[in-house]
Chains A and B, each alone.
Chain A
Amino acid sequence: MSEERVQRILLYCGVTGAVLFCLAPFGYMVLTGLSLRPDFLRPEIPLTLTALNFGTVLTDPSLHFLAYLRNSLVVSAVSATVAVLVASLAAYALTRLEAPGKLLILFFILGVSLFPQVSLVSWLYKFMATLGWINTLQALVLPYVAWTLPLAVWILYSYFTQIPRDLDRAALVDGCTRLQVLFRVVLPVAAPGVFSTFLLAFIFAFNEFLFALMLTADYTARTVPVGIALFEGRHGELPWGEIMAAATVATLPVVLLTLVYQRRIVQGLTRGAVKG
């Protein structure tokens, strides 16, 4: 057998394996959500499809699932927007303004992500408790911005360095202030990178668990990951169908974003990481 052939076969095995690995648990989740009974894999149990679980999750007010979803979307969108804004100011200063000691600042920003999340929670809790913000959305937005900033700064930094300096200079001569240069020239020109950064920050915030677990108490601020993690049955036995239906709905926004903008996300992720 020729080497080409072996390689071809290996490739198809790899593709199949990768698809199975990535999609099987996801598919199992969706299927369980659609199944009348969660134990449909048992030989004696028939698979009966139903929308019942989805109906319950979306309509039963005592589950508060839609509130969780709303909280998640609001918190993620707001914190991603703020993170991108704050990060672009910093990336602009670091690429354009000859800030003193900029490499040091850059590595400090990266080093911040070395701290384990668990080392922040007690003081974040104290802060938010002092402000009376426990179980509010802003109590999540602020730490999420801080938590996604290092990644955002690094990605934007790498995009901004690729914009020719002459564009800035032209804009300055054309009458822009520094801030106008950033908002009227640099950000629009770097739009794809800015969008990648926003997507990543959004997904990071949407998926965050520990802060949300500590800083929220109920549906007024609780986010989807915590909601699903703490989803317990009302009658002892875990309602797997409902949990999986909720999980399916919860992952829908991020999965859709990922499928539609996969190219942007991959670019942003690898820029932020490999560039350094």
Chain B
Amino acid sequence: MSTESNNSAADRLPPRERREALAFLLPVALFLGGLVLVPVLGTLLDSLHRDVTFLPRSFIGLENYRALSADPAFWASVRFTLVFVLVSVPLQVVLGLLIALVLNEGFAGRALLRACVLIPWAVPAAVSGRVFELIYNYSYGAANWLIQLVHPGAGPVNWLGTELGALAAVVVADTYKTTPFAALLLLAGLSAIPEDLYGQARIDRATFLQRFFRITLPLLKPVLVVTLIFRTIDALRVFDVIFVLTGGGPGGATSALSIYGFRYYAAGDFGYASAVSVILFFISLTLVVGYASLGGFGREAR
């Protein structure tokens, strides 16, 4: 028995310690494996099967995907989802940034405002969806009341009954719910920018706007990218608000992919619905990877 081989054996993580580490990680592995990974893989498998309630299950390869690509309602759903993301995420990030900028200033009642900002985030989306349903009520909702207040001649808008109205309604309701989260992330980013930099910039006579565009924005970029990623992932799979507010209507005009897929689950066509889920996942993945390379996160992680 040579000392060399002995030594290298001892240098490796001792088995007992490794077992200990694994034991500590076991519960997480069980939960995530059993309740996330297995269902996801199962869904992937399902998407390759004809899996409809009361019918025998059979492998059909990519048939579900072919059927999807032939369904105009699916393409409408993809289009709506992307439009929804493209409209709501920038809106939320810009609004969130404004709120964060306000919260980052020192003024009396700042803590109170921060608490107020948290409220929309804390209220369940299903509940705030219901509130917005009332707000958009054609005959006595707050939205139309506000329009008439500002512009007495204007007729009431049929928010939830028209395509454009429903899109606007859904975007506003989602923005209400999720802007606080964006604001808080950005606030954390803002407060990490050293105060000295602003002092120096003032001495250099940079104006308010110059300070914002030359210091704040560049230094905030990593956090901005993180916020965009988080918001995009979330917006892609938007469900609660739309389900409550429009149910995907009118006529499928606000049928985001989650809603579209869910309808088929509810109808018992598991294979087809699974194919929708898989596509939704890959769209998320693509966008996140795109953002990450945009923000240069791959480099930092290494």
Tell me the A residues contacting B by CB distance below 8 Å.
Answer: 3, 6-7, 11, 14-15, 17-19, 21-26, 28-29, 32, 38-42, 45, 85-87, 89-90, 92-94, 97-100, 105, 107, 109, 112-124, 126-127, 142-143, 145-147, 149-150, 153, 178, 203, 206-207, 209-210, 213-214, 224-226, 228-229, 231, 240, 243-244, 247, 250-251, 254-255, 257-259, 262-263, 265-266, 269-270, 273-274, 276
A-B residue pairs in contact (CB < 8 Å), sample of 10 = A6-B208, A115-B40, A116-B284, A121-B265, A224-B127, A225-B127, A243-B134, A250-B127, A262-B115, A273-B227
Of the candidates B17, B18, B126, B176, the one whose C-beta lies within 8 Å of that of A209 is B126
A94: chain B residues at CB < 8 Å are 25
B285: chain A residues at CB < 8 Å are 114
- Determine whether the beta carbon of A262 is less than 8 Å from that of B114: yes
- Determine whether the beta carbon of A114 is less than 8 Å from that of B39: no
- Determine whether the beta carbon of B32 is less than 8 Å from that of A254: no
- Determine whether the beta carbon of A120 is less than 8 Å from that of B39: yes
Majority SS at the chain A contact face: helix
- Determine whether the beta carbon of B142 is less than 8 Å from that of A274: no
Closest to B280 in A: A116
Q: How far is the CA of A210 from the CA of B280 in the complex (A)?
A: 16
Q: How far is the CA of A143 from the CA of B123 in the complex (A)?
A: 21
Interface residue B197 (Cβ < 8 Å from any Cβ of A): no
Q: A97-B24, A225-B127, A240-B134 are in contact. Are A119 and B39 (CB under 8 A)?
A: yes
Q: A38-B134, A90-B27, A99-B22 are in contact. Are A15 and B107 (CB under 8 A)?
A: yes
- Determine whether the beta carbon of B265 is less than 8 Å from that of A122: yes
- Determine whether the beta carbon of A117 is less than 8 Å from that of B258: yes
Beyond A15-B109, A119-B281, 19 additional pairs, beta carbon < 8 A: A18-B102, A18-B113, A28-B134, A29-B131, A89-B25, A116-B257, A119-B277, A120-B39, A122-B39, A122-B265, A122-B273, A146-B31, A228-B124, A228-B126, A243-B134, A254-B124, A258-B115, A258-B119, A258-B122
Closest to B283 in A: A116
Interface residue B193 (Cβ < 8 Å from any Cβ of A): no
Interface residue B226 (Cβ < 8 Å from any Cβ of A): yes
B117 vs chain A, min Cβ distance (A): 5
Of the candidates B28, B37, B46, B258, the one whose C-beta lies within 8 Å of that of A116 is B258
A203: chain B residues at CB < 8 Å are 122
- Determine whether the beta carbon of B43 is less than 8 Å from that of A119: yes
Of the candidates B17, B24, B129, B281, the one whose C-beta lies within 8 Å of that of A115 is B281
Interface residue B20 (Cβ < 8 Å from any Cβ of A): yes
B28: chain A residues at CB < 8 Å are 86-87, 89-90, 109, 149, 153
Interface residue B168 (Cβ < 8 Å from any Cβ of A): no
One digit per residue, 1 when the CB lies within 8 angstroms of any chain A CB and 0 when it does not, for chain B 28-56 equals 10011011111110110010000000000
Q: How far is the CA of A7 from the CA of B261 in the complex (A)?
A: 48
A11 vs chain B, min Cβ distance (A): 5
- Determine whether the beta carbon of A3 is less than 8 Å from that of B119: no
- Determine whether the beta carbon of A98 is less than 8 Å from that of B122: no
- Determine whether the beta carbon of B125 is less than 8 Å from that of A97: no
- Determine whether the beta carbon of B277 is less than 8 Å from that of A207: no
B135: chain A residues at CB < 8 Å are 25, 28
A99: chain B residues at CB < 8 Å are 18, 21-22, 24-25
Give the top 9 A-B pairs by smallest Cβ distance, nearest first: A123-B39, A39-B140, A119-B277, A93-B24, A270-B188, A225-B126, A146-B35, A14-B102, A97-B21
Closest to B258 in A: A118
Of the candidates B114, B120, B223, the one whose C-beta lies within 8 Å of that of A26 is B120
Instruction: Give the residues from 180 to 206 in chain B that come closer than 8 angstroms, CB to CB, to chain A.
Output: 180-181, 184-185, 187-189, 192
Q: A98-B21, A250-B127, A273-B185 are in contact. Are A22 and B119 (CB under 8 A)?
A: yes
B35 vs chain A, min Cβ distance (A): 4
Q: A93-B24, A206-B124 are in contact. Are A247 and B116 (CB under 8 A)?
A: no
Closest to A226 in B: B126
B25: chain A residues at CB < 8 Å are 89-90, 93-94, 99, 105
A153: chain B residues at CB < 8 Å are 28
Of the candidates B18, B22, B102, B244, the one whose C-beta lies within 8 Å of that of A229 is B244
A85: chain B residues at CB < 8 Å are 27
Q: A26-B119, A124-B35, A229-B244 are in contact. Are A207 and B125 (CB under 8 A)?
A: yes
Interface residue B94 (Cβ < 8 Å from any Cβ of A): no
A122: chain B residues at CB < 8 Å are 39, 42-43, 46, 265, 270, 273-274
Q: A26-B123, A109-B32, A112-B32 are in contact. Are A209 and B243 (CB under 8 A)?
A: yes
Q: A28-B131, A229-B129 are in contact. Are A97 and B17 (CB under 8 A)?
A: yes
Of the candidates B31, B176, B273, the one whose C-beta lies within 8 Å of that of A86 is B31
Interface residue B167 (Cβ < 8 Å from any Cβ of A): no
A45: chain B residues at CB < 8 Å are 140
B213 vs chain A, min Cβ distance (A): 15
B236: chain A residues at CB < 8 Å are 116
One digit per residue, 1 when the CB lies within 8 angstroms of any chain A CB and 0 when it does not, for chain B 194-237 equals 00000000000001100000000000000100110010010011
